[in-house]
Structures are given as structure tokens and as C-alpha cells.
Amino acid sequence: MFNHKIATIGSHSALQILKGAKDEGFSTIVICIKNREKLYKLFDVADEIIIINDYKEFPKIQNKLKKEKAIIIPHASFIAYLGLKTIEKLKIPYYGNKKILHWESDRNKEKKWLAKSKLNLPKIFTKAEKIDRLVIVKLHGADGGKGYFLAKDKDDFIKKTKSQPKQNYFIQEYIIGVPIYIHYFYSPITNQVEIMGFDKRYETNVDSLGRINSYDQLDLPKKMIDPSYVVIGNFPMVVRESLLPKILEMGQNVVKASQKIAPPGLFGPFCLETILTSESKFYTFEISARIVAGTNPYINGSPYTWIKYNEPMSTGRRIARDIKQAIEQNKLEKILY
Ligand code: ATP
């Protein structure tokens, strides 16, 4: 048992994070809103459950968490519920480089980072007049991919946006290929970038449109068949082994570039959200600089972590192992912010 405890907010990948922490010998704390505690009780992954009325109250329990020597593990819901400004001001030990959050949340900065990492990016159109190919139109701050649409040219874009209130659209080249979400882990303790696994997402309603033949689709109201990309779950995936060297290089380049733009750089889990074309070219359309929910199918480890560790190693557990090794080597200052 360690003096430090591992804490996270009860959502997203908390089950995985807490189970992984317990497997590495840590006591755990989950902070959740009322009624969510039932889930964490059922799975018995939290030694302590703190219930708050609203996630906005999180800063108020900081002193209590500090006294318990809690280390907070961020995930997407943690960032979304608390917001960047609040997270920056938190005074409890936080696993991750907070400076990276700005590079990830601002689309222009993110693009700079990914380009610096020598990744192929889909072309971005700043003006509708310039659209010269199939594009995916994303809304800024979109609620999980709702309201996205495709446009084949400028006229199509104008037609589709005409009746909508003026919005801040993000227009990106649509890449035809298969989406692959690549899970990595970089440890500043071992100085190694690891491939943890892959997933593909199950998105409603876009993944259900193919079940209605085009003939029947023509008879349906447009509203019913407008695509949305709301993630409901994740499928595990393995990729052709011949793709792995390229995938590893991509992850290493992202870490290297991050060390220049936001020293000491990105560490811990991260994910490149990519589309692979039939010419085997990866296009990266987004980066998540933390644990992604796509790692949840691998609570018992992925094929890749099984090869490397010979024991069940989820991303949640890998985080706890990083913290454990940092404690043992007196290097906690390298991973806590
Ligand atoms: P987040 O990680 O923030 O939840 P996301 O992974 O859902 O976002 P989005 O950028 O919102 O990613 O994309 C939603 C969907 O659109 C996904 O199915 C993704 O594969 C697809 N997509 C995104 N960008 C492109 C693109 N440039 N070309 C083809 N498909 C894309």
C-alpha cells in the first residue's frame, strides 16, 4: 500500500482507472454525483466514494483530497465537466501536463502540433468558396458529433446551411477510409512510447444508416436520415502487423513535437484519431491527450499489452504503474502537475 491514493470522477473510464489503481496496490477514491455511486459500489473499485451535487463543486473538495494525498487522473468527462480554467487552478496533484490541454482544445494549435509531428492531416477550408472536394462540416463545441454534415461542394454547403442560424463551422476534407483510433502511452519514467491498442467507435445514427437501403431512405424525411456521430460504444480492433512500425513512429513524433511546444511535453495515455485510406495512408483528424473511452474494452489488457507485459495491463493500470514507479524512484515531480 502506498501513501498516495488514486482519485477520479465517476464517469467515462473511471471503472478502468480505479480497477487498474487497485491492481497496482493503491487505495482509490471516486467523486461522483448522486445516484452514480451505485455503479462504483456494485463493481467495488472505490475504497471511498465522495458524492457531490454538481461537478462544479469539485474545487470545494480539494482540501479533503489533498489531506488524503490523492492524485487526480483526468479523463474526457473530467475535462468537459470542470473546464480548462478550473483545472488550471486546481491545487491537488494532477497526472499529466496541464499545458498540453491548450494545444489539444484549440483547433488551430492542435493542427500546428500535429503538423509539427509530421502527420498527414485532412485539408481544412477556412472559406466555403474554397471547397473543392467532399468535406465534413463540424460544429465548434459540438455535442458529441451532433449536427455534423457532409457537403460535396460550395453550393451544397450553402444549401445545407441556408436555413440554419449563423454558426462557427469547421470545414475539413472528408477522408474515405476506415477510422482507426490508436491508443498510446508514453512514460517519462521509462522514456518509451508504447502501443496499447486500437478501437473503432459505434456511432449513432451514422452506423445505422447502412441498414436502410437507399431506395427506402429516399422516402424518409431528411431529418431522420441526417447523419450524426454520437459515440455510444467502442469495438476492440487489431491492425495488420505491417502497419505497426508506422503507427509507432507516429506516436513517437507526437511526443517529440510536444516536448518542443509545451515542455516537458505530453506523457501518459493519448490517442490519435485517424482514417486509413486504401493506399495505406494515415490521416490524423484529432488527438486526445489523455485516456480515451476506446481503451475500456481492454480492462483485462489488449493483445499488445499482453505481449509486452505478460499480465493483464489496461491503460488505467498502466497509469497506476507509472505513478508507482515514479514513487519508487523518487520521481513524482516528473509526472504530477
Ligand atoms: P471526440 O474525440 O472529440 O469525441 P470524435 O472522435 O467523435 O471527437 P469527430 O472529429 O467529432 O471525432 O468526428 C466524428 C466522426 O466523423 C468520426 O466517426 C470520425 O471517424 C469521422 N470523421 C471526422 N473527421 C473526418 C474526416 N476528416 N474524414 C472522414 N471522417 C471523419
Closest CA to 121 of 253, 9, 11: 253
pLDDT at residue 17, rounded to an integer: 98
Contacts of 190 by beta carbon, 8 Å cutoff, 6+ apart:
325
First to last CA, the chain: 23
- Give the count of alpha carbons within 13 A of 22, CB side only: 16
* C-alpha–C-alpha distance, residues 97 and 300, integer Å: 27
pLDDT at residue 143, rounded to an integer: 64
Q: How far is the CA of 285 from the centre of ligand 1 (A)?
A: 7
Q: How far is the CA of 77 from the centre of ligand 1 (A)?
A: 18
pLDDT at residue 141, rounded to an integer: 63
- The finding on whether 177 has its CB within 6 A of some atom of ligand 1 is no
* C-alpha–C-alpha distance, residues 165 and 161, integer Å: 8
Q: Which helix (H) or strand (E) holds 84?
A: helix 84-89
pLDDT at residue 236, rounded to an integer: 98
* C-alpha–C-alpha distance, residues 91 and 278, integer Å: 48
Q: ω before 205 within 30° of 0 (cis)?
A: yes
- The finding on whether 227 has its CB within 6 A of some atom of ligand 1 is no
Q: Is 128 left (phi over 0), alpha (psi -120 to 50) or beta?
A: alpha
112-129: per-residue pLDDT in tens?
A: 999 999 999 999 999 999
Instruction: Specify the DSSP class assigned to residue 59.
Output: G
In this structure, the residue with its CA closest to atom 18 of ligand 1 is 229
Mean pLDDT of the chain: 95
Walk me through the domains of the chain, giving residue ranges and CATH numbers: 5-94 (3.40.50.20), 103-120+176-202+232-317 (3.30.470.20), 124-173 (3.30.1490.20)
Report residue 263 as a C-alpha cell: 515542455
- The finding on whether 289 has its CB within 6 A of some atom of ligand 1 is no
Helix axes 315-328, 14-23, angle to 10 degrees: 40
Q: How far is the CA of 273 from the centre of ligand 1 (A)?
A: 8
Residue reference for cell 444508416 = 209
- pLDDT < 70 regions, the chain: 1, 141-143
pLDDT at residue 2, rounded to an integer: 81
Q: How far is the CA of 291 from the centre of ligand 1 (A)?
A: 17
Which residue type occupies 113? W
β-pair type (169-173, 135-139): antiparallel
Q: Which helix (H) or strand (E) holds 211?
A: none
- The finding on whether 145 has its CB within 6 A of some atom of ligand 1 is yes
Q: How far is the CA of 270 from the centre of ligand 1 (A)?
A: 16
* C-alpha–C-alpha distance, residues 113 and 260, integer Å: 10
